[in-house]
Structure 1
Amino acid sequence: MGLEGCGCEVNNPIIFCDFDGTVTKKDNIVSIMKQFAPPEWEMWKDQVLSRSVSIQEGVGNMFRLLPTSRKQEITKFVLENSEIREGFSEFVQYTKKQQIPLYIVSGGMDFFVRPILAPFDSIAGVFCNQADFLGETIQIQWPHPCDQTCTNQNCGCCKPAIIRQLSNAKTHAIVIGDSVTDLEAAKISHTVIARDYLAEKCGELSIPFQPFDTFYDCIDILEKLQISSQTKGVGK
């Protein structure tokens, strides 16, 4: 752990990148709630950030405040208002050229995560939650639950479990993120590239990290890792 920016050779890198607030400039769930939810959504948001309730409970209860009758309006709003962070397209091309597997691991919802990522066809895989619009209010399904090793439990989309699923003892896990959903993943990764809440928490917990603002910064950080050309892309 803590090898980021050290100038040492890195073998078998694999990238686990957050979506909301990382690939996109803003957190899409927060944007949706500000636009469509009653005021009590903020209580759940604050409890998630303070870690007094689980991500699964808090986010699930936020979406239950939204009627499914507004599905088209909500979907149109989020797809039209999402902005991709600068350099992401170049970052995806860089990982493809360097043969580094890039996985998007998101606490967001399929109805906006997948359409926004559709143009980027070289991404190795996308993990996110699923929104059910069949009832009166939006219900969230959690297809990527915590494994037996997860100490957090009820992560929603459990990023540490996905990292363990796709990595092995020979891989170098790189986490890129910004929020509370990335904190447990950062604790078990080798390199952390962080901004906003995640950067603050890494600082508080003495988790080594590299700060970023754009994905051009992420490319620069990966360049400094001196990734081995003989072994990159292995390790799934």
Structure 2
Amino acid sequence: MTVHILCDFDGTITAEDNIIALMKAFAPSEWHTIKDDVLAQNISIRSGVGQLFELLPSAGRTVYRDYLVERIELRPGFIDFLAEVSQNDWQFDVVSGGMDFFVYPILNGHVDPDHIYCNVADFSAETVRIDWPHACDEQCTNDCGCCKPTIARRIVNPDDRLVVIGDSVTDFEVAKQADFVYARGQLITLCEAEGIRYAPFETFDDITYHLKEVSV
């Protein structure tokens, strides 16, 4: 049986949520209300993320990318974790509600682009617009934007053991499909409320140890 790992990016692989970092640095104050509505599940992820990026002028594209690439920190243990993934022949894909213009540069040299699923930012208009190449299929009505359950149904073999790594409401629906979850932040609360099997983590070393020592 193959272990297939679907891993979130913002706040999971990276120490900080990159969308939130962009909003703090470049967006007007109304981004706070939109963010709170998404986290409270008052509006869909797709709607909220789209509204957030509409607050950013497209002219800042290079500035936004460089700001994140220069300051971002990968969560401790991630590079060693990838080595374990390769050594054990685990399947690994990044499933991110983040944007191509920062996800790909940050993961360059670490994760094959063919195993990265994320949204696409369009800078052709006055403000940033988002394209959604991984929108919900007919089995999902949550308007996820980057629909992680849809991606899982498409790329994970039904016989595989699905492991999900994440930190927030954006990972909740795919966590419901998982055999086991590694959780941080809000995802811990959601897993506990739903009775989903999970282990908390702070670093990827925690996950590596658990995957090697404990049957999930």
Q: TM-score range by the shorter chain?
A: over 0.9
Q: CA RMSD in A?
A: 1.3
Q: Which residue in 1 is equivalent to 2:12?
A: 22
Q: Determine which of 190, 197, 210 is the counterpart of 2:186.
A: 197
Q: Determine which of 62, 66, 69 is the counterpart of 2:59.
A: 69
For 1:62-211, list aligned pairs within 5 A: 62-121=52-111, 125-152=115-142, 154-211=143-200
Q: 1:76 to 1:122 in 2, by over 3 A?
A: closer
Q: CA deviation at 1:169?
A: 2.4
Stretches of 4+ aligned residues off by more than 2 angstroms = 121-124, 224-227
- Gap regions ≥5 residues in structure 2: none
Contact between 1:92 and 1:123, CA under 8 Å: does it hold in 2?
no
Q: Determine which of 41, 54, 77 is the counterpart of 1:51.
A: 41
**Match of 1:197, as an amino acid?**
Q
Secondary structure of the corresponding residue to residue 188 of structure 1:
coil
Alignment of 1:33 onto 2:23: yes
Equivalent-residue separation in structure 2 for 1:111 and 1:126 (angstroms) = 12
Equivalent-residue separation in structure 2 for 1:117 and 1:187 (angstroms) = 26
Equivalent-residue separation in structure 2 for 1:23 and 1:217 (angstroms) = 13
Equivalent-residue separation in structure 2 for 1:28 and 1:56 (angstroms) = 16
Contact between 1:102 and 1:124, CA under 8 Å: does it hold in 2?
no
Q: CA deviation at 1:105?
A: 0.3
Percent of aligned pairs with the same residue?
45
Q: Determine which of 34, 43, 50 is the counterpart of 1:60.
A: 50
Q: CA deviation at 1:167?
A: 1.7
Contact between 2:2 and 2:91, CA under 8 Å: does it hold in 1?
no
TM normalised by structure 2 equals: 0.96
- Gap regions ≥5 residues in structure 1: 1-10, 228-236
**Match of 2:94, as an amino acid?**
I
Higher relative contact order (CA 8 A, sep 6+): 1
Q: Which has the higher helix share?
A: 2
Q: 1:124 to 1:172 in 2, by over 3 A?
A: farther
Equivalent-residue separation in structure 2 for 1:29 and 1:169 (angstroms) = 32
| Aligned length in residues | 216
Equivalent-residue separation in structure 2 for 1:196 and 1:121 (angstroms) = 24
Equivalent-residue separation in structure 2 for 1:51 and 1:24 (angstroms) = 23
1:179-224 per-residue CA deviation (whole Å, 9 max, x = no partner) reads 1110001011111010111112111222221110000001011113
Contact between 1:101 and 1:124, CA under 8 Å: does it hold in 2?
no
Q: 1:123 to 1:63 in 2, by over 3 A?
A: closer
